[in-house]
Amino acid sequence: MSTTQRVCPSCKGLTPSSRTSCAHCGRRFRNEMAWKIPLIVLLFVLAIAASVLIELEPW
C-alpha cells in the first residue's frame, strides 16, 4: 500500500501528507483551504447584500 507524500518547502524532504508538520525539520504545513473558505463566505455575503440593495432601490 502506497501513501501519498508531499515535499517540504523548507528542507525538500518527503513527508506523508497525513502529517501536519515535516518529519525531518518540523516545519508546519499550511492548509491550502485556509484562505479560500473565508473568501467564499465573504463573496456569498456580498452577493446577498447586493441583491437586497437592488431590490430596495426605488426606480
Residue-wise pLDDT tens digits, 14-42: 999 888 899 889 899 888 788 899 999 99
Enclosing domain of residue 19: 5-56
**Whether the model pTM is above 0.75:** no
Q: Are 27 and 21 in contact (CB under 8 A)?
A: yes
| Cα 43 to Cα 59: distance, rounded to the nearest angstrom | 26
Grid coordinates of 28:
508546519
Sign of torsion over alpha carbons 45, 46, 50, 56 = positive
- DSSP code of residue 17: T
- C-alpha dist (Å) from residue 37 to 26, 40, 45: 26, 5, 13
- At 48 the pLDDT is 95
Mean residue pLDDT across the chain = 88
Structural domains of the chain, count: 1
Residue predicted with more confidence, 31 or 11: 11
